[in-house]
Amino acid sequence: MKGSRLLIAIVIGATLLGPASLFCTAAQAASTVGSIGAGGEALPESQPKAKGTQVQLGLGAGLAPDYEGSSDYKGVPLLYARVAWESGMFLQLEAGSGLRVNLIPSPNWRLGPVLKYIPARDNVEDNKVDNLEDVDAAVMLGGFAGYDFGRWSTFVQLLQDVSGSNDGYVATLGVGYAIPVSKELLVAFSATTNYASGDYMSTYFGIDAENSRRSGLDTFNADAGFKDVGVGLLVQYWGWGNLGLRFRAGYVLLVGDAADSPIVDDRGDENQIFGGLMVTYRF
Protein backbone atom coordinates (compact mmCIF):
# COMPACT_ATOMS: atom_id res chain seq x y z
CA MET A 1 0.00 0.00 0.00
CA LYS A 2 2.80 2.44 0.87
CA GLY A 3 4.57 1.70 -2.39
CA SER A 4 1.38 2.12 -4.41
CA ARG A 5 0.69 5.50 -2.80
CA LEU A 6 4.16 6.75 -3.67
CA LEU A 7 3.79 5.48 -7.25
CA ILE A 8 0.42 7.21 -7.61
CA ALA A 9 1.89 10.44 -6.24
CA ILE A 10 4.74 10.33 -8.75
CA VAL A 11 2.36 9.67 -11.64
CA ILE A 12 -0.03 12.46 -10.63
CA GLY A 13 2.86 14.85 -10.00
CA ALA A 14 4.33 14.09 -13.42
CA THR A 15 0.92 14.72 -14.98
CA LEU A 16 0.66 18.09 -13.24
CA LEU A 17 4.21 19.09 -14.09
CA GLY A 18 4.22 17.69 -17.59
CA PRO A 19 3.14 20.72 -19.66
CA ALA A 20 6.31 22.77 -20.11
CA SER A 21 4.56 26.13 -20.14
CA LEU A 22 2.77 25.48 -16.84
CA PHE A 23 5.93 24.17 -15.20
CA CYS A 24 7.98 27.20 -16.26
CA THR A 25 5.33 29.67 -15.10
CA ALA A 26 4.93 27.82 -11.81
CA ALA A 27 8.70 27.91 -11.37
CA GLN A 28 8.54 31.67 -11.89
CA ALA A 29 5.91 31.85 -9.15
CA ALA A 30 7.99 29.71 -6.83
CA SER A 31 11.02 31.89 -7.49
CA THR A 32 9.14 35.13 -6.90
CA VAL A 33 7.59 33.90 -3.67
CA GLY A 34 10.89 32.43 -2.52
CA SER A 35 12.92 35.51 -3.41
CA ILE A 36 10.67 37.79 -1.37
CA GLY A 37 10.82 35.39 1.56
CA ALA A 38 7.23 35.35 2.85
CA GLY A 39 8.21 32.89 5.57
CA GLY A 40 7.58 30.05 3.16
CA GLU A 41 10.46 27.85 4.23
CA ALA A 42 9.37 27.74 7.87
CA LEU A 43 5.73 26.91 7.12
CA PRO A 44 5.64 23.41 5.60
CA GLU A 45 6.80 21.49 8.68
CA SER A 46 4.40 23.39 10.97
CA GLN A 47 1.74 20.69 10.54
CA PRO A 48 0.73 17.41 12.20
CA LYS A 49 3.04 14.49 11.48
CA ALA A 50 1.78 11.95 8.95
CA LYS A 51 0.29 8.64 10.08
CA GLY A 52 1.64 5.97 7.76
CA THR A 53 2.41 7.34 4.31
CA GLN A 54 0.48 10.46 3.29
CA VAL A 55 0.42 12.19 -0.08
CA GLN A 56 -0.86 15.74 -0.62
CA LEU A 57 -1.25 17.47 -3.97
CA GLY A 58 -2.39 21.02 -4.69
CA LEU A 59 -3.10 23.33 -7.61
CA GLY A 60 -4.18 26.96 -7.52
CA ALA A 61 -3.34 30.57 -8.28
CA GLY A 62 -1.70 33.49 -6.52
CA LEU A 63 -0.56 37.08 -6.79
CA ALA A 64 3.16 37.94 -6.64
CA PRO A 65 5.55 40.81 -7.51
CA ASP A 66 6.70 41.05 -11.12
CA TYR A 67 10.32 40.79 -9.87
CA GLU A 68 12.01 40.99 -6.49
CA GLY A 69 11.44 44.59 -5.40
CA SER A 70 8.76 45.39 -7.98
CA SER A 71 5.67 47.50 -7.29
CA ASP A 72 3.85 45.71 -10.12
CA TYR A 73 2.02 42.44 -9.46
CA LYS A 74 0.92 39.54 -11.62
CA GLY A 75 -1.18 36.42 -11.35
CA VAL A 76 0.79 33.15 -11.08
CA PRO A 77 -0.17 29.44 -10.99
CA LEU A 78 0.78 27.51 -7.87
CA LEU A 79 1.71 23.85 -7.50
CA TYR A 80 2.13 21.84 -4.31
CA ALA A 81 3.18 18.23 -3.75
CA ARG A 82 4.20 16.46 -0.56
CA VAL A 83 4.90 12.85 0.35
CA ALA A 84 5.36 12.33 4.10
CA TRP A 85 6.20 9.19 6.05
CA GLU A 86 5.35 8.39 9.65
CA SER A 87 9.08 8.38 10.44
CA GLY A 88 9.16 12.14 9.83
CA MET A 89 10.89 11.92 6.45
CA PHE A 90 9.26 13.81 3.58
CA LEU A 91 9.64 15.09 0.03
CA GLN A 92 8.02 18.44 -0.75
CA LEU A 93 7.67 20.86 -3.65
CA GLU A 94 6.01 24.23 -3.06
CA ALA A 95 6.26 27.83 -4.17
CA GLY A 96 8.71 29.65 -1.90
CA SER A 97 10.57 26.54 -0.82
CA GLY A 98 11.56 24.74 -4.03
CA LEU A 99 12.15 21.00 -3.81
CA ARG A 100 13.14 19.83 -0.33
CA VAL A 101 13.79 16.33 1.01
CA ASN A 102 14.05 15.52 4.71
CA LEU A 103 16.35 12.50 5.12
CA ILE A 104 16.19 12.24 8.93
CA PRO A 105 13.74 9.65 10.35
CA SER A 106 12.98 11.70 13.44
CA PRO A 107 9.83 13.29 14.90
CA ASN A 108 11.75 16.48 15.68
CA TRP A 109 14.90 16.85 13.55
CA ARG A 110 14.96 17.73 9.84
CA LEU A 111 17.96 17.67 7.52
CA GLY A 112 18.33 17.31 3.77
CA PRO A 113 18.97 18.81 0.32
CA VAL A 114 17.17 21.70 -1.34
CA LEU A 115 16.88 22.58 -5.03
CA LYS A 116 15.45 25.91 -6.15
CA TYR A 117 15.09 27.37 -9.64
CA ILE A 118 15.25 31.14 -10.25
CA PRO A 119 14.00 32.05 -13.75
CA ALA A 120 15.58 34.75 -15.86
CA ARG A 121 14.66 38.35 -15.10
CA ASP A 122 13.44 39.74 -18.42
CA ASN A 123 10.29 41.21 -19.95
CA VAL A 124 9.26 42.92 -16.71
CA GLU A 125 6.53 45.55 -16.59
CA ASP A 126 8.73 48.50 -15.57
CA ASN A 127 10.38 49.92 -18.70
CA LYS A 128 13.60 51.10 -17.06
CA VAL A 129 14.17 47.85 -15.18
CA ASP A 130 13.34 45.97 -18.37
CA ASN A 131 16.09 47.92 -20.15
CA LEU A 132 18.68 46.50 -17.76
CA GLU A 133 20.71 43.57 -19.03
CA ASP A 134 18.72 40.36 -18.63
CA VAL A 135 19.61 38.13 -15.70
CA ASP A 136 19.93 34.48 -16.73
CA ALA A 137 18.02 31.72 -14.98
CA ALA A 138 19.77 30.28 -11.93
CA VAL A 139 19.75 26.93 -10.17
CA MET A 140 20.32 27.15 -6.43
CA LEU A 141 21.47 24.00 -4.61
CA GLY A 142 22.09 23.50 -0.92
CA GLY A 143 20.68 22.09 2.27
CA PHE A 144 18.41 22.81 5.21
CA ALA A 145 18.13 21.79 8.84
CA GLY A 146 15.43 22.28 11.41
CA TYR A 147 14.08 21.26 14.78
CA ASP A 148 10.45 21.07 15.91
CA PHE A 149 9.45 21.33 19.56
CA GLY A 150 5.79 21.41 20.47
CA ARG A 151 4.04 23.88 18.21
CA TRP A 152 7.30 25.66 17.37
CA SER A 153 9.50 25.00 14.34
CA THR A 154 13.02 26.37 13.68
CA PHE A 155 14.79 26.41 10.37
CA VAL A 156 18.14 27.24 8.71
CA GLN A 157 19.03 26.95 5.02
CA LEU A 158 21.98 27.68 2.74
CA LEU A 159 21.69 27.78 -1.06
CA GLN A 160 24.50 28.33 -3.58
CA ASP A 161 24.12 29.09 -7.29
CA VAL A 162 25.49 26.17 -9.31
CA SER A 163 24.50 27.46 -12.76
CA GLY A 164 26.89 30.43 -13.04
CA SER A 165 24.05 32.94 -13.23
CA ASN A 166 24.53 34.94 -10.03
CA ASP A 167 27.48 32.99 -8.51
CA GLY A 168 26.17 33.84 -5.06
CA TYR A 169 24.57 32.28 -2.03
CA VAL A 170 21.59 32.99 0.23
CA ALA A 171 21.36 31.96 3.90
CA THR A 172 17.95 31.82 5.59
CA LEU A 173 16.87 31.73 9.23
CA GLY A 174 13.27 31.05 10.16
CA VAL A 175 10.86 30.18 12.96
CA GLY A 176 7.27 28.94 12.76
CA TYR A 177 4.35 28.42 15.12
CA ALA A 178 1.44 26.08 14.34
CA ILE A 179 -2.08 26.13 15.80
CA PRO A 180 -4.14 22.99 15.14
CA VAL A 181 -7.53 24.67 15.58
CA SER A 182 -9.42 21.45 14.88
CA LYS A 183 -8.99 18.11 13.14
CA GLU A 184 -9.78 19.82 9.84
CA LEU A 185 -8.15 23.23 10.33
CA LEU A 186 -4.48 24.17 10.77
CA VAL A 187 -3.19 27.75 11.06
CA ALA A 188 0.56 28.43 11.08
CA PHE A 189 2.64 31.60 11.33
CA SER A 190 6.29 32.12 10.47
CA ALA A 191 9.06 34.71 10.37
CA THR A 192 12.23 34.61 8.25
CA THR A 193 15.24 36.67 7.28
CA ASN A 194 17.62 36.21 4.33
CA TYR A 195 21.32 37.07 4.09
CA ALA A 196 22.74 37.27 0.55
CA SER A 197 26.32 37.29 -0.72
CA GLY A 198 27.84 40.17 -2.67
CA ASP A 199 27.58 38.30 -5.98
CA TYR A 200 23.87 37.61 -5.45
CA MET A 201 23.15 41.20 -4.41
CA SER A 202 25.14 42.65 -7.30
CA THR A 203 23.29 40.48 -9.81
CA TYR A 204 19.75 41.35 -8.70
CA PHE A 205 20.16 44.81 -7.15
CA GLY A 206 23.40 46.33 -8.49
CA ILE A 207 23.64 48.68 -11.49
CA ASP A 208 26.98 49.14 -13.25
CA ALA A 209 27.88 51.95 -15.66
CA GLU A 210 26.68 50.07 -18.76
CA ASN A 211 23.33 49.19 -17.21
CA SER A 212 22.97 52.76 -15.99
CA ARG A 213 23.42 53.96 -19.57
CA ARG A 214 20.91 51.41 -20.87
CA SER A 215 18.22 52.14 -18.30
CA GLY A 216 18.72 55.71 -17.15
CA LEU A 217 18.97 54.54 -13.54
CA ASP A 218 21.82 55.66 -11.27
CA THR A 219 24.78 53.35 -10.78
CA PHE A 220 24.59 51.36 -7.56
CA ASN A 221 26.94 48.97 -5.78
CA ALA A 222 24.99 46.32 -3.84
CA ASP A 223 27.10 44.64 -1.16
CA ALA A 224 26.58 41.47 0.86
CA GLY A 225 24.19 41.71 3.78
CA PHE A 226 20.71 40.98 5.06
CA LYS A 227 18.30 41.68 2.22
CA ASP A 228 14.90 41.12 3.82
CA VAL A 229 12.76 40.20 6.82
CA GLY A 230 9.34 38.66 6.41
CA VAL A 231 6.31 37.05 8.01
CA GLY A 232 4.07 34.36 6.59
CA LEU A 233 0.67 32.77 7.14
CA LEU A 234 -0.56 29.31 6.20
CA VAL A 235 -4.15 28.09 6.54
CA GLN A 236 -4.88 24.46 5.61
CA TYR A 237 -8.53 23.38 5.77
CA TRP A 238 -9.66 19.81 5.11
CA GLY A 239 -13.37 20.55 5.05
CA TRP A 240 -14.51 17.91 2.58
CA GLY A 241 -12.86 14.66 3.62
CA ASN A 242 -9.67 14.32 1.60
CA LEU A 243 -10.39 17.51 -0.35
CA GLY A 244 -9.31 20.83 1.10
CA LEU A 245 -8.08 24.39 0.61
CA ARG A 246 -4.57 25.73 1.24
CA PHE A 247 -4.12 29.49 1.64
CA ARG A 248 -0.76 31.21 1.93
CA ALA A 249 0.10 34.86 2.37
CA GLY A 250 3.30 36.72 3.16
CA TYR A 251 4.74 40.16 3.72
CA VAL A 252 8.41 41.00 3.25
CA LEU A 253 10.32 44.20 3.92
CA LEU A 254 13.44 44.59 1.79
CA VAL A 255 16.29 46.09 3.82
CA GLY A 256 19.86 47.29 3.37
CA ASP A 257 21.20 47.58 -0.16
CA ALA A 258 18.23 45.64 -1.51
CA ALA A 259 15.90 48.44 -0.39
CA ASP A 260 18.31 51.22 -1.41
CA SER A 261 18.83 49.95 -4.97
CA PRO A 262 17.28 52.22 -7.66
CA ILE A 263 15.54 49.08 -8.95
CA VAL A 264 13.53 49.13 -5.71
CA ASP A 265 13.84 52.65 -4.28
CA ASP A 266 13.13 54.51 -7.54
CA ARG A 267 11.17 52.03 -9.64
CA GLY A 268 9.72 49.52 -7.18
CA ASP A 269 8.67 49.08 -3.57
CA GLU A 270 10.51 47.75 -0.52
CA ASN A 271 7.19 46.36 0.74
CA GLN A 272 6.50 43.02 -0.94
CA ILE A 273 3.37 40.89 -0.54
CA PHE A 274 2.20 37.52 -1.80
CA GLY A 275 -1.09 35.67 -1.58
CA GLY A 276 -2.31 32.40 -3.05
CA LEU A 277 -5.06 29.79 -2.76
CA MET A 278 -4.88 26.13 -3.79
CA VAL A 279 -7.28 23.24 -3.92
CA THR A 280 -5.59 20.29 -2.20
CA TYR A 281 -6.18 16.55 -2.17
CA ARG A 282 -4.69 13.96 0.16
CA PHE A 283 -4.57 10.18 0.17
The answer to whether 174 and 96 have CB atoms below 8 angstroms apart is no
Q: How far is CA 258 from the centre of its chain?
A: 18
Contact 218, 262 (CB under 8 A): yes
Number of domains in the chain: 1
Q: Is the pLDDT confidence value at 13 over 70?
A: no
User: Which residues are bridge partners to 148 per DSSP?
Assistant: 153
Instruction: List Cβ neighbours of 111 (8 Å cut-off, separation of 6 or more).
Output: 102, 103, 104, 143, 144, 145, 146
| pLDDT of 120 | 86
Q: What is the pLDDT of residues 91-141, one digit of tens each?
A: 999 976 799 999 999 999 999 999 999 888 999 999 999 999 999 999 999
Region for 37 from its dihedrals, namely left if φ exceeds 0, alpha if ψ lies in -120 to 50, beta otherwise? left
Q: Provide the domain limits for residue 218.
A: 2-282
231 burial level (CB within 10 Å; 0-12, 13-18, 19+): middle
pLDDT tens string 146-196: 999 999 999 999 999 999 999 999 999 999 999 999 999 999 999 999 999
Domain of 245: which CATH number? 2.40.230
User: What pTM was estimated for this model as a whole?
Assistant: 0.86
d(CA 171, CA 98): 15
Cα four-point dihedral sign 101, 103, 109, 115? negative
